């Protein structure tokens, strides 16, 4: 049977009420999964408590034998005169019998009390283990899950944890060698940038990789430290005597004192960040860099289509390119006094379209078209944001 429109309207109203309470945070996100998970764990993972054997019964039966008394020893006999005989013997050995009984009693009473205490303790323990421990474990699992969600929502998630699916068998260093150029090429390419930091105290190289830029900074006499989450690369850099830390950059930055850095450098790193991490990073940079200090962020330029055919998708850990206008906006919003964009790495000569010789017919129109096409397809592959605090 079709439901009447007024019921549909009511359901629609209820739905929008739920949606608005979710938006306002009154209804927590993920509660349904949490509750389902909890119930499924109870249903499928917890073993049913095995019933304890009956301990109370036998202990109570044993207790009924107390007190031990000579008069409870039967004197009945099937033989003629047997009962008289037993009673006579009992009288004769009465003193010894009482003595022995008292000794046994002295042993039996405390043993009985101990047994009763043990049975009670075992029963209490059983309740604790099967109910309380299971409950505490579930509560802990749930608290852990809730905290991980909060951290993830705040952008503090460890990126190694968040992308557990990608665990390449090749070494990061081999990958860097194959696609980012040799150490010498890297040194040549970034020497100029390092020179611009001469006179700066305490520079942090975020995502320092093999440490080429740290070497350049050392060469220029700039005190610097690197941070990277890749243990292979950090190990290699440390072996070369560079000061590096293996940690998540956002977490590392947030632990530093405010205004404790002279500069921060991110070379081809920010495209690995999530949207939340990017905004968190810029806010942290504003806090940690001293007034007058410089932040360099070099990354692939999404305004160049050439980049998408080359650098962008070569690295499987790239998240998304960051638009230069957006990044510049972020730094300005965060309070950086001066923000500039520099275009770097034009495509190799020969890849871009050639303009026609100037005197050929319709050359100026043609050349304008070539210029536009080149701008679209062959814009510089990288840009550098220079933000001065």
Partner 1 sequence: MEIHQLVVSASPGDAVTSAALGFQTLLQRVGPSGLFARYVDPALHGTVFPLTVYEACAQPDDLLVYHVSIGEPEITRFLLGRPERLILVYHNITPAEYFATLDPAFAGLLACGRAELCLLRGRADMALAVSRYNARELESFGYQDVRLSPLPVDVSALREVEPDVATVAELESLDGPLILFVGQLLPHKRPDLLLYAYHALTTHLLPDAHLVLLGPGRIERYRRALQTYVAELNLDRARITGWVTREQLAAYYARADVFATMSEHEGVCVPLLEAMSFDVPVVARDYGAVSETMGDAGLLLPPDDDPFLVAEALAEVLTSEGLRAEMVCRGRDRLAGIDAEAAYGAFLGHLVDLVGTGAGM
Instruction: Indicate the SS3 state at residue 208.
Output: coil
Instruction: Characterize 109-136 residue by residue with b for buried, 16 or more Cβ atoms within 10 angstroms of its Cβ, and e for exposed.
Output: eeebeebbeebeeeeeeeeeeeeeebee
Kindly list the distances between the CA atom of residue 317 and the CA atoms of 115, 172, 223, 365, in Å, as whole numbers in the listed order: 65, 11, 30, 42
Instruction: Characterize 261-290 residue by residue with b for buried, 16 or more Cβ atoms within 10 angstroms of its Cβ, and e for exposed.
Output: bbbbbbbbbbbbbbeebbebbbbbbbbbbe
In the complex, the smallest distance separating the C-beta of residue 121 from partner 1, rounded to whole angstroms, is 23
Stretch that binds partner 1, among 19-27, 51-59, 175-183, 268-276 (CB under 8 A): 19-27
Q: Which pair of tokens denotes residue 261? A: 């850095």
Stretch that binds partner 1, among 40-48, 68-76, 314-322, 373-381 (CB under 8 A): 40-48
Half-sphere exposure of 181 toward its Cβ, with a 13 Å CA cutoff? 10
* Closest by Cα among 230, 260, 263 to 248: 230
- Judged by CB under 8 A, does residue 17 bind partner 1? yes
**Distance (Å, whole) CA 291 – CA 259:** 8
- Judged by CB under 8 A, does residue 309 bind partner 1? no
DSSP-assigned letter for residue 199: T
- Judged by CB under 8 A, does residue 22 bind partner 1? yes
In the complex, the smallest distance separating the C-beta of residue 154 from partner 1, rounded to whole angstroms, is 23
In the complex, the smallest distance separating the C-beta of residue 126 from partner 1, rounded to whole angstroms, is 16
- Judged by CB under 8 A, does residue 26 bind partner 1? yes
In the complex, the smallest distance separating the C-beta of residue 252 from partner 1, rounded to whole angstroms, is 38
Q: What share of the chain is helix, strand, coil (3-state, %, to 5)?
A: 55, 10, 35
In the complex, the smallest distance separating the C-beta of residue 150 from partner 1, rounded to whole angstroms, is 19
Stretch that binds partner 1, among 135-143, 212-220, 314-322, 342-350 (CB under 8 A): 135-143
Considering only 9, 42, 329, 333, the residue that binds partner 1 (CB under 8 A) is 42
- Judged by CB under 8 A, does residue 36 bind partner 1? yes
- Judged by CB under 8 A, does residue 39 bind partner 1? yes
Stretch that binds partner 1, among 30-38, 94-102, 104-112, 207-215 (CB under 8 A): 30-38
Q: Which pair of tokens denotes residue 145? A: 């899950």
Considering only 9, 10, 89, 94, the residue that binds partner 1 (CB under 8 A) is 10
Instruction: Indicate the SS3 state at residue 290.
Output: strand
Q: Which pair of tokens denotes residue 340? A: 């500039």
Stretch that binds partner 1, among 22-30, 305-313, 337-345, 349-357 (CB under 8 A): 22-30
Question: Residues in the site for partner 1, rule: CB under 8 A?
Answer: 1, 3-4, 7, 10-11, 14-15, 17-18, 21-22, 26-27, 31-32, 35-36, 38-39, 42-44, 46, 48, 135, 138-139
């Amino acid at each position: 049977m079709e439901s009447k429109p007024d019921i549909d309207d009511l359901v629609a109203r209820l739905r929008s009420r739920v949606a608005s309470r979710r938006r306002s945070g009154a209804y927590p996100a993920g509660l349904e999964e949490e509750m389902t998970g909890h119930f499924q764990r109870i249903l499928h993972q917890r073993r049913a408590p095995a019933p304890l054997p009956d301990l109370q019964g036998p202990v109570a039966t044993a207790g009924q034998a107390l007190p031990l008394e000579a008069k409870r020893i039967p004197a009945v006999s099937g033989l003629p005169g047997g009962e008289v005989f037993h009673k006579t013997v009992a009288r004769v050995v009465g003193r010894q019998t009482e003595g022995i009984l008292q000794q046994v009693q002295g042993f039996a009473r405390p043993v009985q009390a101990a047994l009763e205490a043990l049975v009670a303790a075992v029963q209490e323990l059983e309740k604790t283990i099967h109910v309380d421990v299971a409950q505490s474990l579930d509560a802990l699992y749930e608290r852990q899950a809730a905290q991980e969600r909060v951290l993830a929502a705040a952008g503090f998630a460890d990126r190694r944890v968040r992308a557990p699916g990608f665990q390449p068998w090749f070494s990061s260093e081999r990958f860097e060698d194959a696609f980012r150029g040799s150490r010498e090429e890297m040194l040549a390419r970034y020497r100029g940038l390092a020179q611009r930091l001469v006179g700066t105290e305490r520079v942090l190289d975020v995502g320092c990789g093999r440490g080429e830029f740290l070497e350049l900074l050392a060469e220029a006499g700039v005190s610097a430290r690197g941070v990277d989450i890749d243990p292979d690369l950090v190990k290699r850099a440390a072996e070369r005597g560079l000061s590096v830390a293996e940690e998540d950059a956002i977490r590392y930055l947030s632990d530093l004192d405010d205004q404790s850095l002279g500069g921060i450098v991110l070379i081809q790193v920010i495209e690995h960040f999530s949207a939340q991490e990017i905004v968190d990073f810029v806010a942290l940079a504003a806090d940690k860099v001293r007034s007058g200090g410089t932040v360099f962020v070099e990354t692939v330029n999404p305004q160049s289509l050439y980049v998408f055919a080359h650098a962008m998708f070569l690295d499987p850990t790239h998240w998304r390119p960051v638009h230069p206008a957006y990044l510049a906006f972020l730094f300005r919003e965060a309070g950086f006094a001066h923000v500039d964009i520099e275009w770097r790495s034009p495509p190799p000569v020969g890849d871009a379209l050639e303009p026609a010789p100037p005197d050929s017919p319709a050359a100026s129109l043609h050349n304008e078209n070539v210029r536009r096409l080149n701008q679209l397809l062959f814009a510089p592959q990288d840009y550098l944001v220079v933000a001065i605090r």
